[in-house]
Amino acid sequence: MAAAAAAALPRLGALLLPFLAVAACLDVPSHGCYWTGCQSKWFGVCAARHFLDSESDDCDGLCMVSKSPPCLPLHTHFYCCKPGIPKVTNKCGHCKSKLDFGKEFICCSDCSDPTIMDKNTKLGYCKSGANLTMQLKPQETFHWVAGPWMICSSPCDGGVRYRDVACYGSLDDSTIKHYPVDDASCSADEMPARQEACNQHSCSDPEMTQSMNPKRSGMSGWLVALVVVLGLGAIGGIAFISYTYYRRRSSGPSGFVYVMMEAYS
């Protein structure tokens, strides 16, 4: 009985060794990844809810000999990562190593490569130990923009007028002005009319006739006034020329002699 118990101790120790190794590993950080102490290659595990990323006998050259002595045969160090939900930030825009999820970017705070385990919850980690972060993209909205109506094609008896209608997009960022996009981006049910009927009243309508006559009579009055002024000017010019001619005819010789006598006196 004692011999059987003694034989079972090594097996029990082999089973407990991985868990003891985890307990004796380097300090587990609150986020990111870390190297464990030496663990069995077959029974090694990470801490609860941590993800095993890789393994290395020398922690990829990062293990310190004083804190992590060389592992026994068939033992190694495991690189464990603690996944988490990314924190919202505004610093992913300048990172080249970021993941595009449509409405947001996922990146590491040090711009290293992020690892995502669940695309729905965005659960993941950064192998470098940096914080997993997320930057929301500016919200894009689409709306119709209608221009002014053009002149009606007819003053009466029914006409048609047109205007320009286009779909524009805009962002939450007020520094970016709205920009034209494809009409399919806007709702067809909310699209304003591009044309409509106008001036449906009849041209023979008395109100229409009265509204048009003042303009015509006004133009005729100006023309009559202009003709009268020109006529009076012409009559006055003719009268002045006739009077001048008459004065010269009636007082021409005596006046000429008088002037000559005054010159020689």
Task: Write out pLDDT tens, residues 157-168.
Answer: 889 999 999 999
What sign has the CA pseudo-torsion 240, 245, 249, 252? positive
Of 221 and 23, the structure prediction assigns the larger pLDDT to 221
Of 179 and 216, the structure prediction assigns the larger pLDDT to 179
Query: In this structure, what token pair is assigned to residue 45?
Result: 């595990």
The amino acid at 96 = K
Q: What is the pLDDT of residue 148?
A: 95
Nearest Cα to Cα of residue 202 among 137, 258, 239, 155: 155
Model confidence at 16, pLDDT cuts 50, 70, 90, reads very low
**What is the overall mean pLDDT for the chain?**
77
Verify that 190 and 146 share a domain, yes or no.
yes
Model confidence at 260, pLDDT cuts 50, 70, 90, reads very low
Verify that 121 and 158 share a domain, yes or no.
no
Q: What is the pLDDT of residue 18?
A: 43
Determine, yes or no, domain membership for 108: yes
pLDDT at 207 over 70: no
Determine, yes or no, domain membership for 48: yes
Beta carbons within 10 angstroms of residue 137's beta carbon: 15
pLDDT at 182 over 90: yes
Verify that 21 and 62 share a domain, yes or no.
yes
How far is 138 from 172, CA to CA, in rounded Å? 6
Verify that 75 and 17 share a domain, yes or no.
yes
Determine, yes or no, domain membership for 209: no
48 three-class SS:
coil
Q: What is the pLDDT of residue 213?
A: 57
Q: pTM higher than 0.75 for the full model?
A: no
How far is 231 from 220, CA to CA, in rounded Å? 16
Determine, yes or no, domain membership for 240: no
How far is 30 from 110, CA to CA, in rounded Å? 17
Determine, yes or no, domain membership for 6: no
261 three-class SS:
helix
Determine, yes or no, domain membership for 215: no
Nearest Cα to Cα of residue 31 among 69, 87, 92, 98: 87
pLDDT at 49 over 70: yes
Verify that 92 and 148 share a domain, yes or no.
no
Q: What is the pLDDT of residue 20?
A: 44
Structural domain range at position 117: 87-136
Judge contact between 79 and 56, C-beta under 8 A: yes
Determine, yes or no, domain membership for 56: yes
Domain count, the chain: 3
Q: What is the pLDDT of residue 39?
A: 86
Determine, yes or no, domain membership for 210: no
Verify that 26 and 78 share a domain, yes or no.
yes
